[in-house]
């Protein structure tokens, strides 16, 4: 029987900041070979020996310099099929509430960033499916209070 392999070797994170009483999404413009000039939220691989939670904190810090945030599991997943390599990639998506005074310091994986209101962010994200992830996050983390059991507590 032929199957399509599923790989789950990475994470994604959507960072939110309240600006003028409205939540905005942090979008980054990638400079990588595969996703050059693509607007997206944070994503990256899980390194050897890391948990997904350790990876998401590391990726947020590496890509944005942000260290002060409240982190939740969104219970959503980025899902991508690679037709060239015949596999499905699935990554858990985390939600981070960033404190207002936190600044963004990009690494060399990105050329620009913007804090964008949800409606505009859903139009700008480049990968199919990202707008559904953002809609779910808006519905479950902005329009209503996040469920406490989804909050990630550091040891």
In a domain, 25, yes or no: yes
Residue 55, helix vs strand vs coil: helix
- pLDDT of res. 117: 95
Residue 16 domain-assigned? yes
- The yes-or-no verdict on residue 153 having pLDDT over 90 is no
Q: CA–CA separation, 35 vs 58, rounded Å?
A: 20
Rounded mean pLDDT, 79-90: 92
In a domain, 3, yes or no: no
Task: Please check whether residue 79 lies inside any domain of the structure.
Answer: yes
pLDDT at 155: 58
Examine residue 111 and state whether it is found in any structural domain, yes or no: yes
**Nearest CA among 134, 108, 133, 140 for reference residue 119:** 134
The answer to the question of residue 2 being in a domain is no
pLDDT tens-digit map of 70-79: 999 999 999 9
Phi and psi at residue 8, to the nearest 5°: -130, 80
Q: What is the pLDDT of residues 94-110, one digit of tens each?
A: 999 998 888 898 888 88
Average pLDDT rounded to a whole number, residues 81-92: 93
Q: Is 72 among the domain residues?
A: yes
Please report whether residue 84 resides in a domain.
yes
Range of 114's domain?
9-149
Q: What are the tens digits of pLDDT across the range 2-33?
A: 899 999 999 999 999 999 999 999 999 988 76
34 pLDDT higher than 90 = no
pLDDT (tens digit per residue) in 109-145: 888 999 999 999 999 988 888 999 999 999 999 999 9
Overall number of domains in the chain: 1
Strand partners for 40: 28
User: What is the pTM (predicted TM-score) of this model?
Assistant: 0.92
Q: What's the CATH number where 132 sits?
A: 3.90.79.10
Q: Is 99 exposed, middle or buried (0-12, 13-18, 19+ CB in 10 A)?
A: exposed
């Amino acid at each position: 029987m032929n199957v399509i392999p599923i790989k789950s070797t990475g994470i994604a994170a959507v960072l939110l900041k309240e600006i003028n009483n409205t939540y905005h999404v942090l979008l980054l413009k990638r400079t990588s070979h595969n996703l050059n000039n693509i607007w997206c939220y944070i994503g990256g691989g899980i390194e050897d020996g890391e948990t997904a939670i350790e990876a998401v904190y590391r990726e947020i810090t590496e890509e944005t310099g942000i260290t002060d945030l409240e982190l939740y599991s969104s219970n959503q997943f980025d899902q991508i099929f690679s037709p060239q390599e015949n596999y499905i990639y699935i990554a858990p998506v985390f939600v981070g509430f960033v404190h207002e005074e936190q600044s963004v310091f990009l690494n060399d994986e990105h050329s620009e960033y913007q804090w964008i209101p949800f409606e505009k962010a859903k139009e700008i994200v480049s990968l199919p499916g990202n707008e559904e992830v953002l809609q779910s996050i808006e519905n479950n983390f902005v329009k209503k209070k996040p469920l406490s059991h989804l909050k990630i507590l550091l040891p």
